[in-house]
Amino acid sequence: MKRCGLYLRVSTVDQHPETQLYDLRGLAAQRNFEIVHEYSDKISGSKAKRPSLDQLLCDARRGRFDVVIVWAFDRIARSTRHFLEVLDELNHLGIEFVSFRENIDTGGPLGRAIVVIIGAIAELERNLIVERVRAGMRRARLEGRQIGRRPLDVDRAAVLRDRAAVLRDRAAGKSITQVAQAHQISRSLVSKIVAQSHRLPGSHEGVD
């Protein structure tokens, strides 16, 4: 017999969790699960602090149960990102996740496939964040702004290489827009680098 934890949440103190609890207890009995604990929060869905959810995750790490049953996806998480984080942690702990309303069970083949898809989405999101950070650091470096501790000689060399690459692309006939896209910087920064580096007296860099 698998051990399970039930989690339910209502949005305000005026609502009662009995309806959700009735459905979750019924689902647990139908699947012959042993209910080891029932976790309940009475709090708005947008609030970050959820004492009972925190306790559920703490007990999950201690191996108190094998399955978590919720009434619906939006009951357990305040956002899509938060839901992905909770589901990912339960998956890594080897704990099945069952949602009553969406009829999702990660113990079955369809549920496991959904976990794989969700994991891929989460990984993509992490990669996009990394790329945005790298692009921001690259732009800061081109603008001559210091990142973190005092830059070393190798950092100054990197700045010179980046500026030289911008100038080479511009000299090769690429438009300001093309150069900006290639180096993930703004068009105005490209114009600034070109103007500061090798603008000749009387010459003019047009904006296309």
Backbone angles phi, psi at 172, to 5 degrees: -80, 0
Q: Which two tokens stand for residue 23?
A: 């459905």
Tell me which of 11, 52, 175, 186 is the catalytic residue: 11
Residue 11, Cβ neighbours under 10 Å: how many?
Answer: 15
Q: How far is CA 40 from CA 16, 19, 56, 71, in A?
A: 10, 12, 10, 11
Contacts with 99 (C-beta within 8 Å, 6 or more apart), sequence order:
69, 70, 71, 72, 73, 105
Q: CA-CA distance, 51 to 10, in Å (whole number)?
A: 13
Digitized pLDDT (tens) for each residue of the chain, 208 residues in all: 899 999 988 876 556 778 889 999 999 999 999 999 999 888 776 666 788 999 999 999 999 999 999 988 878 877 777 887 888 888 889 999 998 988 888 877 777 677 667 656 656 776 778 788 888 777 777 777 766 655 444 445 555 667 888 888 888 888 888 888 888 788 888 888 888 775 544 444 444 4
Residue 203: active-site member: no
pTM for the model stands at 0.54
Residue 104 DSSP SS3: strand
